[in-house]
Structure 1
């Protein structure tokens, strides 16, 4: 029998162990709840609290390095698996068990279980019950027109000879046609490809022409009818696992119609994307030849996503063809070192293809001009602000869910019972931040206001230049990412003056606008830090490039990348690096996302995604549909230089600037009304 002292020690030890277990259990529950909320918020996946046959496995998906071959055996140890669905690029999967009892067993056993994924990283699985599996998918189950893949086009012996024919040793005498880019080695034959202008100098062929072994192989392909023209330019790229090339269209004016690419050393998945947004992932097996002609060469972009694993068909091996997005038959395939031989024929005459909107040889439709007067400014805003937000309201709202800390801080600091107006409230994400305030929102978009009302917020439609609220009636106002949508200095100042009119004496207003400076105080904003495109890659993107949209909730420039027109900056404000003036007949440039701003007045693309009623779903597993192709819209912005917002506020009457600061790519001001004369 234990002595009282030992018994006390044992009881204390047991208590500590129980406390530790309780802490671990509470931590697990918090993470499980967080995973559940993340799935609902970002993917629309609704979990249920009761047991079903279907489980969603968070952290167990192709998107975070977990393959079918790795996950399925773990699941099968706990019961008979009817189906394992792994949506492409998603960090979750769905599993359906034969019985609810087996599903319960998996829920209890695997929740919180640590596994090692195919990337060698440890990850913890979080399981939740769902009534049905559902996911969203873009896809087209046919090759882009004019595209073909010929498998086993060369023998293993020829593959070895081709790879050995390329001498990667630096040759000081030949540096004009061998490049060592950041993420790959490149060598040119016949003509050098200049990445600074995405073209070749047709009057300066390189000595030696194409390697002799290539000549014999090309002649064979010509005789067999695999290709139509003998190329005179070759670019050899060597890709390490994890490296890729941005989506691009080979410059129309540089090369003829037919472009061919031989894959050696390893297979790869190449993504083809139509301007409407349809993406087709195509498997290029080792020793296969990709042939692009017509629409696939001139209109669709092609690129390789930088990653170490590709999503491939589990049951079809590595044969060429479209990755069908059959979520019941997808897994991961580890990349190897791949060398591509891309052959082209240099064009000697201008391109007259059937795709003038993406052809650098044919005149493009000019972008809208900078407004010369108030009427033109109003028309520009109507077309490139008001109309666009009506079209994209639903998708825009789905990307606006995380409040900014400094704005929350401002609202939380206001006295209880304050009347606050959110001018340009969007989907109303700030209207419910502080329950002790009386908040009302307004926006120019009827569809965004409808979303606010669905969320039980008080909101109405109006123009920010004429808000139907009595003067001096508000204790505070906020204007977040609104003023930069007005197209002239006068209209921007008028929007600020309208905020002041609404304030009572002593009332405060918080204003956010996009900043021209995305690098400030030696720090890059997340807008640039999220950019995974190296300078070398950016050089390789031709003027016809359309890179996939990259959405970031809190940063400016959200939308897909698009072509950029080279024009001078067209703002009249002069301050530091923004000392520029509008030229005659200036056209508005289209901004390339994830890059620094080169003009203060510009159009920012928004690639619309999402189409209610088109999501894939199963009851729990059944017939599915697909998304329609989606358009690209362009929104007008005036990005502010350092000091410009303060200068505009100082032009207002009866205003004192309490604070000005920079917040992740935005210039921000807190001002206070000091008189009741307004």
Structure 2
């Protein structure tokens, strides 16, 4: 072969490699997003790898596109790794298709990204209705001058204060200083009997007096927490404890802007831009009912046309870009409450909420509320710690994934931290979970994931070759809801498609063999106490990571004959209160609460759990998760209620009942 033939050979290999990747991008968009490319030229292009979701900003992409012609519109959907470019003419779109396919661009972090373009008939962006700020929330821009901002920043000394550790804490993701009273992250509270010496810094006094005089705030604060956030760091969603502070919580943003997410108990999320030198004021509903937090990431999705002004980040794909975070310092002021809280949000008020065990649900509404309080909310709180204990794939699940044909589309419904999404690189895998925190972890690992409920998965019917449901269905609180979850799996499967399902087993001792869960009880008392306080010390079957726990100080401890007894065949319930399971013991009830001790030491970031006594000296708060553990044969019986599936295999795997279904 002469040199020209070798050159042509290399070129052909390059062309083939490019065409394969372009084709893969096209099929990925179709399978995962429902975006269908067309073989003929149009004025519209979908740009794979050129989206906000993979770190490409409008300012980076638009100039590249404009080199090929006049761009009518560039639509960049939030959190998506693609965008839509609409050119003035079809000829300009054809030029971009030829010139930019395979083109490398560099993002703000210096990473190379290769663009792949395909023609589409039109952009397919779903626009959401404009949201309103949570009631009682106000953002005041330019509340201080840049000179005052510099004075405040310079007044904060981050040198380690060895004489008085109450003033400064080094948390995992940020530095913190407290004034007036120390804020205790282990219970989201303060000790009113132990004020810190010195009160608030003198430099704050004149600023607060000015805000009071102008009517911007109602109370003069007596507690201050200063947080310094590096780019990429955040704070979990939380509600400042009702009984600890007055209605008004105010926070001053210095050094850099940031997007703060406000989350309503019904799941609605409102992202709000907090500009540099702005004051956030939370009162009423926004203070007492909405959780607020900062998602850990290095870039925020922001409005392109309004710069960095305050307000809601809309879903207008034609006006979104990325903004790189800087080092941000927040001054959060509170007024310590001296009287009991009498707000109208009783269900979330630590003072007014009845500290009693939840009851077995007797209606769909009660079941949904139980799942919200003891499944959805808990996994949001423990997402990071939970993920740190979920790292070893189970062999029989790996075997199932490796048995699927190459190129199969697999949906992991309830994917957790995504530990199964990257097992077989020859599969197209997508995951979903009800927990935003777990989905964020999956996205950090570059997995294709989204947030949804397992009863309503936004994937087209009959589009999946296989589905996983690992340790999910036992979290649904009624038989009807468990059946509905199985029906949703069946809906997603194409004819011939398979689903693998794992649920916790009532029988932790089966065929005269104890599960690993029970075997772990054969340890020294000292080690047992350590594991009680640190669930990650041992990785248990699938997710059986409970910690021994009593009920809180205001409610009874249910044990022995007091436990709710439910017959596996009849389903008869003898008492209504749900019992709390004892760590590493056999199950005495099918419907129960399993404790999770959040790992950490006092002074670390935590949120208080439902029914955990405030001011507890335990190493971390205890969260209770609802489970329905399955008796032998129960999972198969529930599966047989589906009309369009057959059971290929059922087996017991270390404390779990497992079924492989096939759609017929």
Give TM-score, length-normalised by structure 2: 0.63
Deviations 1:273-315 (A, max 9, x none): 2122222221111111110000111111111122222222212
Q: State whether structure 2 residue 242 is matched by structure 1 residue 249.
A: no
Q: 1:147 Cα deviation (Å)?
A: 0.7
Whole-angstrom distance in 2 between the partners of 1:146 and 1:520: 40
Match of 1:91 in 2: 81
Equivalences for residues 426-465 of structure 1 within 5 A: 445=483, 449=487, 452=490, 457=495
2:25 to 15, 35, 42: 35
Q: 1:176 Cα deviation (Å)?
A: 1.8
Whole-angstrom distance in 1 between the partners of 2:32 and 2:399: 23
Match of 1:108 in 2: 98
Change in 2 beyond 3 A, CA 1:283/1:51: same
Q: Secondary structure at the match of 2:317?
A: coil
Match of 1:470 in 2: none
Whole-angstrom distance in 2 between the partners of 1:241 and 1:33: 36
* Runs of at least 5 residues in structure 2 that lack an aligned partner in the other structure: 372-395, 406-456, 468-480, 521-530, 545-577, 601-609, 611-624, 636-648
Q: Secondary structure at the match of 2:306?
A: coil
Deviations 1:582-617 (A, max 9, x none): 69x99635879999xxxxxxx9xxxxxxxxxxxxxx
Change in 2 beyond 3 A, CA 1:32/1:526: farther
Q: State whether structure 2 residue 487 is matched by structure 1 residue 481.
A: no
Match of 2:399 in 1: 406
Deviations 1:149-176 (A, max 9, x none): 1111112222122112222111211112
Q: 1:342 Cα deviation (Å)?
A: 0.3
Q: Is the 8 A contact 2:462 2:494 kept in 1?
A: no
Q: State whether structure 2 residue 112 is matched by structure 1 residue 119.
A: no
Q: State whether structure 2 residue 324 is matched by structure 1 residue 319.
A: no
State which structure, 1 or 2, has the greater radius of gyration over its C-alpha atoms: 1
Deviates more, 1:157-166 or 1:56-65: 157-166
Q: State whether structure 2 residue 47 is matched by structure 1 residue 60.
A: no
Deviations 1:222-252 (A, max 9, x none): 1110000111100001111121111111111
Match of 1:238 in 2: 228
Change in 2 beyond 3 A, CA 1:592/1:64: farther
Whole-angstrom distance in 2 between the partners of 1:526 and 1:450: 22
Match of 1:229 in 2: 219
| RMSD of aligned alpha carbons | 4.7
Equivalences for residues 582-597 of structure 1 within 5 A: 588=593
1:197 to 187, 190, 212: 187
Deviations 1:533-558 (A, max 9, x none): xxxxxxxxxxxxxxxxxxxxxxxxxx
Match of 1:268 in 2: 258
Match of 2:584 in 1: 578
2:199 to 191, 209, 213: 209
2:71 to 78, 81, 86: 81
Change in 2 beyond 3 A, CA 1:123/1:175: same
Q: State whether structure 2 residue 278 is matched by structure 1 residue 288.
A: yes
Deviates more, 1:315-324 or 1:82-91: 315-324
Q: Is the 8 A contact 1:140 1:278 kept in 2?
A: no
Q: Secondary structure at the match of 1:328?
A: helix
Q: State whether structure 2 residue 244 is matched by structure 1 residue 258.
A: no
Change in 2 beyond 3 A, CA 1:380/1:71: same
Change in 2 beyond 3 A, CA 1:382/1:162: closer
Deviations 1:455-485 (A, max 9, x none): 66379xxxxxxxxxxxxxxxxxx9833543x
Q: Is the 8 A contact 2:167 2:178 kept in 1?
A: yes
Q: State whether structure 2 residue 132 is matched by structure 1 residue 142.
A: yes
Equivalences for residues 382-531 of structure 1 within 5 A: 405-408=398-401, 445=483, 449=487, 452=490, 457=495, 480-484=500-504, 488-489=506-507
Q: 1:637 Cα deviation (Å)?
A: 4.2
Change in 2 beyond 3 A, CA 1:318/1:202: same
Change in 2 beyond 3 A, CA 1:381/1:367: farther
Q: State whether structure 2 residue 393 is matched by structure 1 residue 355.
A: no
Q: Secondary structure at the match of 1:261?
A: strand
Change in 2 beyond 3 A, CA 1:444/1:90: closer
Equivalent pairs counted in the alignment come to 484
Change in 2 beyond 3 A, CA 1:131/1:365: farther
Whole-angstrom distance in 2 between the partners of 1:33 and 1:526: 36
Q: 1:94 Cα deviation (Å)?
A: 0.6
Q: Is the 8 A contact 2:253 2:331 kept in 1?
A: yes
Whole-angstrom distance in 2 between the partners of 1:345 and 1:280: 26
Deviations 1:561-590 (A, max 9, x none): xxxxxx98526xxxxx6136769x996358
Deviations 1:76-134 (A, max 9, x none): 11111110011122111111011222212211211111110122110001111222212
Whole-angstrom distance in 2 between the partners of 1:327 and 1:176: 46
Equivalences for residues 371-386 of structure 1 within 5 A: none
Whole-angstrom distance in 2 between the partners of 1:352 and 1:140: 32
Q: 1:207 Cα deviation (Å)?
A: 0.3
Q: Is the 8 A contact 2:535 2:597 kept in 1?
A: no
Q: State whether structure 2 residue 4 is matched by structure 1 residue 14.
A: yes
Q: Is the 8 A contact 1:67 1:332 kept in 2?
A: yes
2:143 to 137, 150, 153: 153
Match of 1:598 in 2: none
Q: Is the 8 A contact 1:139 1:278 kept in 2?
A: no
Whole-angstrom distance in 1 between the partners of 2:279 and 2:254: 9
Q: Is the 8 A contact 2:211 2:217 kept in 1?
A: yes
Q: Secondary structure at the match of 1:258?
A: strand
Q: State whether structure 2 residue 218 is matched by structure 1 residue 218.
A: no
Q: 1:319 Cα deviation (Å)?
A: 1.5
